[in-house]
Amino acid sequence: MAIERTFSIIKPDATARSVTGAINAMIEKSGLRIVAQKRVRMSRDQTETFYAVHRQRPFFGELVDFMISGPVVVQVLEGDNAVMAYRDLMGATDPAKAAPGTIRKELAKSIGENSVHGSDAASVNDMGHAAFWAAVLQIVFINMLLSGDNAIVIAMACRDLPQRQRFWGLVIGAGAAVLLRLVFTGIVGQLMLLPYLKLVGGLALVYVAAKLLVPERADENKVEAVAQLWRAVRIVVVADIVMSLDNVIAVAAIAQGSLALLAIGLVASIPIIIAGAALIMVMLDRFPIFIWAGAALLGWIAGDVMATDPAVFGYISAKLGEIFARQVEFAAAGAGALLVIGVGGLWRQLSLSKPHGVPPGEAAGGN
């Protein structure tokens, strides 16, 4: 049998009733392996794009409203003939017609609130097949959904660059985000399972977020301006490495090993990331308070990354249950935000208290 990966969404009705753990238990009992998962909140525009194939159907509006009514959990599942195996496990769309032992029969409430979504079995390897281009749109959509944090990092890292360097900062930053997704797609399944890796990554992201609160003086000197540009790019790359560990999971599942599909979908996302980062940069220039809000958000993400490390989350779930583990995850995210604001604020004050552009002899009081 062929080892495949497939994409799954645990829907808002299931997350609201805290049955994610029960669904995961059924998935694992069936022989499928949960490679990775992430809890996200979908916007209306993103949901309409994702379900565009149903736009002309009478239930489209109700479906969109339902999917944005609460958080969802996106997953990558792996196993023998995973696409069809998971569709069999989900059961019929209408829980009343689903076979006993399926997720929808055991846990879903109605045809409208049927708890799970899974990819179909259409081939995505043929560029002449409609399913290929539908999957491209799905990758663009998922990348939009998950690239908000990348856009914030790019905007904050580039905000102090000279005006002429900002454009290249945006382009290189967005390109780095997409390149890292391509690199991580093949190995993310193994990386996500390594204990303590996300702890280390989360600490790195705390450092990056705090550093983004420290202003850089824009210098129009060409050599110094180029140096500032590459310093900003290094910050973006470090943050993207951490965030791509989570962000790539759904993209990898949709691509199902098709490099062409993955490349087209991710490259098509670059203008979206650039536009988002440019818009955020304008807001940072006009409303400096958003700099602090952006840093706090990155701290929140860092705390969440550390709390969802397999070693940490697995231990707490086993000892105290999944619900408590989710509460710990929320608390860790809040603590990460507060830590970044505290450390970054102190770092910023120390930086601003230092004299800039003063020769060493003068700063020391020499003649």
Q: Which helix (H) or strand (E) holds 96?
A: none
Angle between helices 322-353 and 310-320 (to 10 degrees): 140
Closest CA to 184 of 238, 251, 136, 270: 251
Residue with tokens 């791509």: 244
| Catalytic annotation present for 54 | no
User: Coil, strand, or helix at residue 77?
Assistant: strand
Residue 324: C-alpha distances to residues 193, 199, 330 (Å): 21, 19, 10
Determine the 3-state secondary structure of 122 from DSSP: coil
Instruction: Report DSSP letters for 187-230, one per residue.
Output: THHHHTTSTTHHHHHHHHHHHHHHHTTS------SHHHHHHHHH
d(CA 18, CA 35): 20
Contacts of 236 (CB under 8 A, 6+ apart): 150, 153, 154, 157, 169, 172, 173, 176, 177
Active site residues: 117
